[in-house]
A and B are shown apart, each in its own frame.
Chain A
């Protein structure tokens, strides 16, 4: 048992458990944040994607002990229905999803990309999302939504 402190969605948290516990389990079971999904537990599908110090990471494969003192952003910290992140608004505007299980992880991957490169081309967006699987086939809409959000973010910056 270890007590491990880190920053989660802008707030300090501390969790006491086995340091080997995957961050995804900590989020879902210890902290009650179920937005990040379990898809494979093998770091292959991206449904559990979070940002750790701004970098996209598959939380199913990150032991809690490696998170100490770092900053984690999950889908819950991206935006709210009252104050949606431009990506979330764009996904709603484009109706970009079918079952929606992959969307939290895709939104996080897209945020990591646009933070780094707000002028990302469609090709660059697609390559950045290759770490995320969507099985329903909503890809075309998801790509459109990320393009829309990128345009909006660029506009926001230039204003």
Chain B
């Protein structure tokens, strides 16, 4: 590389290269910082504030954070994939460092001091530690930030950090704890109409008859009905009346072209008989089958999993003077704008999309659809704000779910009982079907001339989608992933926290325990014998230490412990989890320990909160969750039909971060603990029972069946 060659800018900075897209000095004493990343419950805004404050050398309170707004913030695509800090934060960090450097350059020449003698303290320019009378705001008019980032300004070393690495409290928590209007759901606008959509039961269903008069009679007050093609909405000023009418309305609409669904498809094995798009990543499989004594093969499954956000999806829209304003809690305001432009046949410039916080989001849920519902209705009621809030049944019944999966792990063992050849074969519906391309918005599918469903396409690992974490991090001489992507699924599927990693890690880590047993070795020692990455070894060793892991505890006693490990996406944070359980007819979680290496950690308590959340959600997936189907679609439409982990079922949890104040770059942590947790529970339950359950969730019926096998 020649001396003049610019360093490669991180993607987000390359896409949004102008420094004033990230940082502006608008008012004395205040810095406006923009991030395309949005708060979805993960605390990312607090971390972004810390990053900017650190590199700019200003107090965090001075930062006015703009987030997720097509009018104000950089286009960073989606807030997804545990990438906000690893990619978005790194871009912001470089931009802020460069801005600070430009101010110091200017101050040096204006004040006639050596650049090296200048520093910044809370926005004030100091010379040899003494005030110069200049600060960011006095100089702001003379430093042109309307220029492209070079990425050349040095960022601070961890040893210099004063804000990064500390537990800055969440700025958004107080409003929530004191009952403020913290969420989109709480937002009202003058003259706002409440609306509900009568959903198409299935894609392609058409209305045979609709008895609008009966719906009006059933309503306990005035409502309006909007209909276009197969899109039907009920609206009015009184939400109670609209909600009650929406609850009975499906009984007054008769549909044609409803393809009946096979309830058998709620379990995953039907995937094995489906046409698929097949790809192999890695070397070709061995030509000759290995002798039985040297080979291992087992198949693992899980059902569809729901996001099951605590609050149903919501959208708010206002069409006025030829411009559509949309408020949404989705993960990507720019892609949603593009999808709405396609759906509504509007110029994207005629649409503004702004993020407002919503209930916890773990992937592509119903938020985009609810925004589209509101937008479609608002276009037909110019000048009137329209708020759509999904009903609970609607949320469970129509959000995109995480696809059911089947994974076969296959190993050929060497003389010492370690895999010489490894295959992870995956059958799965799509894990990505976001609406940015214009398809896959429920409202668009109900309107006349619906778009085709988005094509089933998934990128290669890493990071992959269904193939995510399909490659074990272990040092096996030959590893491959065989992926069967099934395009046609009974219900709409898309991204949920962890994507394919959850079952892939479950299958790999279950196999590791079984191979350890075959080799007569302790599961922790066996893993360490095939793990060369020092950071991976460290989390495994550390979690074993945390839990006071004892090798050789007998199996089948009703009490067990198990370990699970993965580096999320094989490129984000490393996490090792140990679970301790008691099993009689059901699994009782006792304790969970987690050690994680996330590189430089911006806010350690925030990272631990995310890892804890992944452990609880992973526990819930492992023990309880599976979407139920009947011939009409998803039949688990409330919290009784789709139970999740409750307070008294949550284990004691201990999480520790390895070397969080490192100069290594940050690694995304939000999805790191889920897969290892599910795997650790599976191994602990197998240890407790003396028999393995290969199908998730680990229900009472499956435990009883496993006990009969022992």
Contact = CB atoms under 8 A, between A and B. Distances in A.
B181 interface: yes
A136 B177 CA distance: 16
Contacts of B638: 40, 42, 44
A12 interface: no
B285 interface: no
Nearest to B170: A95
Given A98-B360, A126-B650, A92 B310 contact: no
Interface residues of B, number: 61
Interface string B632-675: 00000011100011111010110000000000000000000000
B606 to A, nearest CB: 8
B173 A99 contact: no
A140 to B, nearest CB: 5
Interface residues of A, number: 60
Given A42-B639, A100-B182, A133 B177 contact: no
Interface of B is mostly: loop
B639 A44 contact: yes
B183 A37 contact: yes
Contact of B41 (A76, A100, A123, A141): A100
Interface string B586-622: 0000000000000000000110011011111100100
B309 interface: yes
B361 interface: yes
B646 to A, nearest CB: 5
Given A84-B178, A92-B174, A99 B240 contact: no
Contact of A136 (B174, B613, B652): B613
A59 interface: no
Nearest to B616: A137
Contacts of B609: 95, 98, 138, 141
Contacts, number: 177
Interface of A is mostly: loop
Contact of B392 (A18, A41, A137): A41
Given A18-B220, A37-B311, A100-B41, A92 B169 contact: yes
A153 interface: no
Contact of A37 (B185, B357, B391, B645): B185
A80 B240 contact: no
Contact of B176 (A44, A104, A125): A104
Interface string A34-57: 111111111011010000000000
Contacts of A115: none
A130 B648 contact: yes
B336 interface: no
B639 A138 contact: no
A135 B308 contact: yes
A114 interface: no
Interface in B161-188: 167, 169-170, 172-174, 176-183, 185-186
Contacts of B309: 135
A127 B358 CA distance: 27
B42 interface: yes
Given A129-B647, A137-B613, A99 B360 contact: yes
Contacts of B238: 29
Interface of B: 40-43, 167, 169-170, 172-174, 176-183, 185-186, 220-221, 238-240, 243, 308-312, 357-361, 389, 391-392, 605-606, 609-610, 612-617, 620, 638-640, 644-648, 650, 652-653
Interface of A: 17-18, 20-22, 25, 28-29, 33-42, 44-45, 47, 74-76, 78-81, 84, 88, 91-92, 95, 97-104, 107, 123, 125-127, 129-130, 132-143
28 contacts: A20-B220, A28-B186, A29-B238, A34-B181, A34-B186, A37-B311, A39-B392, A40-B638, A42-B392, A44-B639, A74-B179, A78-B179, A79-B178, A80-B178, A91-B173, A92-B177, A98-B360, A99-B41, A99-B357, A99-B358, A104-B177, A133-B639, A134-B310, A135-B309, A135-B360, A136-B616, A139-B650, A140-B650
